[in-house]
Structure 1
Amino acid sequence: MCMKKLKDEEKNLFGYIDGDSLINLSELEMTVDGVHPNDIGHKKYAEIIEWKIIELLSD
C-alpha cells in the first residue's frame, strides 16, 4: 500500500519495476538456483528495463 501511494505521488521522479514482474515461479529456467538469474534471466531483465527507460523518456 505504501509503495503504491509513493508510486502514485512521485511517478514523475523515478521509475518503478515490480520485482515480481521480472521472474516468476513459472519461469525457473531463467534462474541458476531459483533466485539468481542466468543468461536468459538477465536478457529478460534487460528487455523489461529497456521498455521502462523508453516509457520514462517518452513522458
Structure 2
Amino acid sequence: MTNSLFVSATAALLLAGCPEISESTGGPVDTCVEAGVQCRYAPGKIGVCFANTENEIVCRSQH
C-alpha cells in the first residue's frame, strides 16, 4: 500500500512538471514591475523578478 501511494505521488509530480514562471509572451523583461516574471539579470543571463525586503520589485539570478 505504501509503495503504490509513493509511486502514485511520484507519477503525479513528474506528469505535472514545473510551472511556468510567467504567462506573458515576448521573453524576459528589462524592467521588473511584477514578481514571478522572467527578466534580464545580466548580459546573457536570465533572472526572475521578486519583491525584496523593501517591497521593491527587482531582478535576481535564477541560480
TM superposition score normalised by structure 1:
0.23
| Structure (1 or 2) with the larger CA radius of gyration | 2
Structure with the greater relative contact order (CA < 8 A, sep ≥ 6): 1 or 2? Answer: 1
Per residue, is there more helix in 1 or in 2?
Answer: 1
Per residue, is there more strand in 1 or in 2?
Answer: 2
